Amino acid sequence: MKEKTKTYEKKLYANRLVPDGKAVYVVSGEESLRNRKRSAPPELSELANRLPVKTLLFARPAEPYSTIIEYLAANEAYAVFPDDSETRTFLVDLPVTDHFSADALAGPLSERKCLIIRGHGLSATGKTGPADAYVNFSAACFACFVKFFSDFLEDAHRHRITADQKKAFEQVLKNLSPAPAFTGGLTAAPVDTPEKARAAIIEAGKRIVALGLVDACFGNISRRMDNTLYISKTGSFLDDLKGDIAACPMDDPQCTGQRPSSEYPAHLAIYRSMDVMGILHGHPLFSVIMSMDCRIDCDHRGDCHRACPHERYIRDIPIVSGETGGGPFGLYKTVPGVIKEGNGAIVYGHGVFTATKTDFNEALARMVEIEQTCREEYFERLKHLGV
Ligand SMILES: [Zn+2]
Ligand SMILES: [Zn+2]
């Protein structure tokens, strides 16, 4: 357990979610003394032993997340309600409390995966272990970032930005990472063996995470070779895919027994609809934020992530609705129809798909370009609105 805790602690620092050395992982069942060596406050040891979890993660997130989360929590009485796909799939909502005590934290954390403690930071549970706690913590940071920027733009449209909101926004901008940039460099060799297909996926996975285009265990990658589709497995971390790639025969829509990514149906449908060799799916922040800035007076408001009938674009990039998986509102029905036209597509409140006819350089370059475009467009819209 100790080894694994270290792995995910390092990921928190590498992905700039927590300042170096500042995360506290508490292992349930361990004596307070042992946990104290991890510099965990005794309240957390007590809490971990009360909850049905294997680990508990606590940290004040790094900037800009810290300012964002404190701002959102200061403006909600009981919980923050983000509206993106990671929240819908994972978190439900983010309860807020003021008291850093086992008693105050136990209730909300028995019902939710992550909790905001005003003035302190975030606590996330890990039912199955430190990886799970890491995913919940990361999803909370992602969700709050998206909500903060989405709300700001929405409030700009409605001319109701407050002085505190503007101040927090300016503070956040000071700590915003630069837009991702990509100049290629991934292996361009043709893929003619299963080993090369897997190696290409592993290499692209590391890069997509390093570029900040996806967080935790979200996103997925596939590479076609003849009639086999190599694809990252469900719940896998894209920066660490060794041993986590399924080899799915394309005539098997279930890819029986191999646990491929839950977006396997969408990948399969894209390969069937166009002549491409690789597909990337990430959750780039401004692409998600901009996909939710819809000014159409839509009857489906509240359900647009699933089934919005309106055709939308950000410049030349199509935006579609749809849910993960093979259900009636699955992305496998909406993405293939537009991805060719836009050389990529954004899914409402969720993320981006790009494809390549050659190697992953092309797909990654397009994803970076889509994210840059959305980021530019975000600040342009604010400027138009006089903010
Ligand atoms: Zn996704
Ligand atoms: Zn709609």
For residues 89 and 55, state if they share a domain.
yes
Q: Rounded distance, CA 301 to CA 281, Å? A: 25
Examine residue 135 and state whether it is found in any structural domain, yes or no.
yes
CA of 153 to the centre of ligand 1 (A): 23
Cβ within 8 Å of residue 94, ≥6 positions away: 79, 80, 81, 82, 87, 112, 114, 115, 116, 140, 143, 144
Domain total in the chain = 2
Question: Which one of the ligands is nearest to 213 CA?
Answer: 1
Q: Which residue has the higher pLDDT, 307 or 255?
A: 255
Distance 215 CA to ligand 1 centre (A): 10
* Same domain, residue pair 315 and 378: yes
Q: Identify whether 314 is part of a domain.
A: yes
| 300 CA distance to ligand 2 middle (Å) | 5
Query: Quick check: is 184 in a domain?
Result: no
CB distance 270 to 211 below 8 Å:
no
Q: Which of 161, 148, 81, 76 is nearest to 118 (CA)?
A: 76
Claim to verify: residue 306 and residue 163 sit in the same structural domain? no
pLDDT of 209-250, one tens digit each?
999 999 989 999 999 999 999 999 999 999 999 999 999 999
- Two tokens at 154? 């929405």
E strands in the chain: 24-27, 55-59, 79-80, 94-97, 114-117, 121-126, 220-225, 228-232, 245-249, 278-282, 312-314, 317-320, 345-347, 351-356
Of the given ranges (40-44, 97-101, 244-248, 355-359), which has the lowest mean pLDDT?
A: 40-44
Domain termination site, one of 113, 146, 174? 174
> Based on the domain organization, do 226 and 363 belong to the same domain?
yes
Q: Are residues 152 and 207 in the same domain?
A: no
Same domain? 199 vs 287: yes
Tell me the pLDDT tens digit for each residue of 99-110.
999 999 999 999
C-alpha of residue 156 to centroid of ligand 2, in Å:
20
Strands 114-117 and 94-97 turn out to be parallel
Tokens of 96: 């807020």
* Closest ligand to Cα 348: 2
Which residues are found with C-beta within 5 Å of the ion, ligand 1? 351
Do 214 and 245 sit in the same domain of this protein?
Answer: yes
For the residues 31-53, what does the mean pLDDT come to? 78
Q: Is the dihedral of CA 45, 75, 213, 338 positive or negative?
A: positive
The pTM (predicted TM-score) of the whole model is 0.95
Domain limits at 68? Answer: 2-174
Q: Whole-number mean pLDDT of the chain?
A: 93
The CA 60 to ligand 1 mean position distance, Å, reads: 26
Q: What residues contact 138, with CB distance under 8 A and at least 6 apart?
A: 12, 15, 17, 215, 216
Cα(269) to centroid(ligand 2), Å: 24
Residues 67, 160 within the same domain? yes
Let me know whether 301 and 359 are in one domain. Answer: yes
CA 310 to ligand 2 center in whole angstroms: 6
Q: Do the domain assignments include residue 185?
A: no
Residue 38 confidence class, pLDDT cut points 50, 70, 90: low
In angstroms, what is the span from residue 227 Cα to ligand 1's centroid?
A: 24
**Ligand 2 centroid to residue 347 C-alpha, Å:** 12
Amino acid identity at 249 = P
Do 225 and 299 share a domain, yes or no? yes
Say which ligand is closest to the CA of 300.
2
DSSP string for residues in 62-100? PTTHHHHHHHHHHT-SSEE---SHHIIIIIS-EEEES--
pLDDT score of 80 more than 70: yes
- What's the token pair of residue 120? 């302190």
Q: Tell me which amino acid residue 185 is.
A: G
User: Distance between CA 244 and CA 234 in Å, rounded?
Assistant: 8
What element of type H or E holds 350?
none
CA–CA dist 221, 202 (Å, integer): 9
- pLDDT of 375 strictly over 90: yes
Q: Do 236 and 163 belong to one domain? A: no
**Domain annotation covers residue 179:** no
- Compute, in angstroms, the gap from residue 143 CA to the centroid of ligand 2: 20
The CATH number covering residue 162 comes to 3.40.225.10
Q: Are 288 and 351 in contact (CB under 8 A)?
A: yes
**Do 341 and 253 fall into the same domain?**
yes
Q: Looking at the domain assignment, is residue 188 inside a domain?
A: no
How far does the centroid of ligand 1 lie from the alpha carbon of residue 347, in Å? 9
Residue 89 forms part of a structural domain: yes
Determine the pLDDT at residue 45. Answer: 86
In a domain, 187, yes or no: no
- Grouping H, G, I as helix, E, B as strand and the rest as coil, residue 283 is coil
Decide which of 174, 208, 229 is a domain's last residue. Answer: 174
